[in-house]
Amino acid sequence: MHRRHHAVTLQQASEESPALAKLAALARDSRDRLRAIESLIPAALRPAIQPGPIDADNWCLLVRGNAAAAKMRQLLPALQAHLRSRGWEVNAIRLKVQT
């Protein structure tokens, strides 16, 4: 029996695999959260922030550099409150510094 291999898009693959579908949904949710708080982050700092993984009611932001992380730490209470006001259950936002 010969199997034919054909290319599939990430969306098609995720629709056929529950695990991939869940991962894709989490990635979308993380991007949506970042969009929701973007206006609260200073414009000069925005390029240094990327959405990261979601684990239960904790969310991780990937931050480029220690200086950006220090400024983001100051903003965390406001960011969490804003997300909660928009319907997200976020008990904590973790920062992961990328070098």
User: In sequence order, which residues have a C-beta less than 8 Å from that of residue 24 and are 6 or more positions away?
Assistant: 10, 11, 14
pLDDT for res 8: 73
Domain map (residue ranges) of the chain: 10-98
pLDDT tens column, 34-59: 999 999 999 999 999 999 999 888 99
Q: How many residues does the chain have?
A: 99
pLDDT for res 6: 72
Domain 10-98, CATH: 3.30.300.180
Q: Is the pLDDT of residue 3 over 60?
A: no
Sheet holding 92-98, edge to edge: 49-55, 58-64, 92-98
DSSP secondary structure, 49-83, as one string: EEEEEEETTEEEEEEESHHHHHHHHHHHHHHHHHH
